[in-house]
Amino acid sequence: MWDPGKYLAFADHRSRPFHELVARVGATAPRRVVDLGCGPGNLTASLAQRWPSAVVEALDSSPEMVSAARARGVDARVGDVASWEPEPDTDVVVTNAVLQWVPGHEDLLRQWVRALPSGAWLAMQVPGNFSGPSHELVRSLVDASWPALRGLLRPSPVLDPVGYAEVLDGCAVDAWETTYLQRLEGEDAVLEWITGTALRPIRAALDDGEWAAFRGRLAPLLREAYPRRADGTTWFPFRRVFAVARVP
Ligand X SMILES: C[S@@+](CC[C@H](N)C(=O)[O-])C[C@H]1O[C@@H](n2cnc3c(N)ncnc32)[C@H](O)[C@@H]1O
Please give the residue ranges that form the binding site for ligand X (CB under 6 A). 2, 14, 18, 37-39, 43, 60-62, 65, 80-82, 96-98, 101-102, 197
3-state secondary structure string across 102-159 = CCCHHHHHHHHHHHCCCCCEEEEEEECCCCCHHHHHHHHHHHHHCHHHHHHCCCCCCC
CB of 220 to ligand X, least distance (A): 26
Tell me how far, at minimum, the Cβ of 65 lies from ligand X, in Å: 4
d(C-alpha 95, C-alpha 26), whole Å? 16
Q: Which is nearer to ligand X, 59 or 175 (CB)?
A: 59
CB of 128 to ligand X, least distance (A): 14
Closest CB to ligand X among residues 37, 128: 37
Among residues 8 and 225, whose Cβ is nearest to ligand X? 8
Minimum distance, C-beta of residue 28 to ligand X, in the bound complex (Å): 23
Tally of CA atoms within 13 A in the half-sphere of 162 that contains its CB? 0
Q: How far apart are CA 112 and CA 247, in angstroms?
A: 10
Contact 97/37 with Cβ under 8 angstroms? yes
Q: What's the rounded Cα separation, in Å, for the pair 64 and 151?
A: 26
- Closest CB to ligand X among residues 7, 226: 7
Between 200 and 223, CB nearer to ligand X: 200
Q: How far is the CB of 93 from ligand X (least distance, A)?
A: 12
DSSP string computed for 90-107: EEEEEEES-GGGSTTHHH
| CA 173 – CA 107 distance, rounded (Å) | 17
